[in-house]
Amino acid sequence: MPAATKTETSASHQVLSSDQPELVLPPAMISAEDYSRLTRPQVYATIPVVISPGDPATLFQRLPQPPVATVANRSQPEARHLPKGVLDAPLIGVGAVSTTPHLVPQMRRRKQDVVEALPSSEAPRWLGILTASQRGSTLITLLLGAGVLAIYGWSVYSQRTWSQAYRQLSDLQREERELVAASETRKQQIAQQAESPKAGLVRQVPANIIFLPPETLQPQVQPPPQPPAIGLVSSPMGY
């Protein structure tokens, strides 16, 4: 109930009527803009806002405020007891029907509040480029990393293959050496055996060689007609 909430305030505090701007901030946190706005004489029609006990706005307490001299109070004799400077300083709400109480951080949202637009959402160009390049370089890094792994694996594999091939090469070279040595030794043994009289071999002499004189060129002679082939031999041929 509206009346109930309003009784929460302290006795010395002047509760203003509900038709005054109720945006309140502690004096240190108010911006100059807001301050100038608030000190302008304005009248608002306000709608009473109910603050339930669970509202977060109730987390904030209202700090005791120094008594504020209003226009109505100025003429009163208590006003003269105020120190000199108080009246000189711009009083919040002087000359205005509305004055704001120093209600510290109880924020009340109002639909009429103009929500000032934040600075432009378009990022500056250099930032865009930076982000794009970061994304691109991440991709490149991943690709390169995959490539590094692949190449490393391939290099290890090729080294292993080379080592095996080298072992094979030295084995083959060894075998070749042994083969040559064995064959040459065998040749020598055979020649020695051939020389011994037990082998029953005779030395080759020109008398055992047939020399055929090469044929001189002659005109092509038709070969004589072939005799008819002998009938197929059923038994295997032998000599």
- Regarding 162 and contact with other proteins (CB under 8 A), the answer is yes
- Regarding 59 and contact with other proteins (CB under 8 A), the answer is no
Ordered DSSP codes for the chain: -HHHHHTTS-SSS-PPPTTS------GGG--HHHHHHHHS------------TT-GGGGSPPPP------HHHHTSGGGGGS-HHHHHSPPTTTTSS-------S-----TTS--PPPSPSSPPHHHHHHHHHHHHHHHHHHHHHHHHHHHHHHHHHHHHHHHHHHHHHHHHHHHHHHHHHHHHHHHHHHHHHHHSGGG------GGG---PPPPPP-PPPPPPPPPPPPPPP-SPP--
- Regarding 151 and contact with other proteins (CB under 8 A), the answer is no
- Regarding 76 and contact with other proteins (CB under 8 A), the answer is no
Number of residues this chain uses to bind other proteins (CB under 8 A)? 30
Shortest separation between residue 154's beta carbon and other proteins, angstroms: 14
- Regarding 174 and contact with other proteins (CB under 8 A), the answer is yes
- Regarding 137 and contact with other proteins (CB under 8 A), the answer is no
- Regarding 185 and contact with other proteins (CB under 8 A), the answer is yes
Residues 191-230 that bind other proteins (CB under 8 A): 191, 195, 203-207, 209, 211, 213, 216
Q: Which residues bind other proteins (CB under 8 A)?
A: 159-160, 162-164, 166-167, 169-170, 173-174, 177-178, 180-181, 184-185, 187-188, 191, 195, 203-207, 209, 211, 213, 216
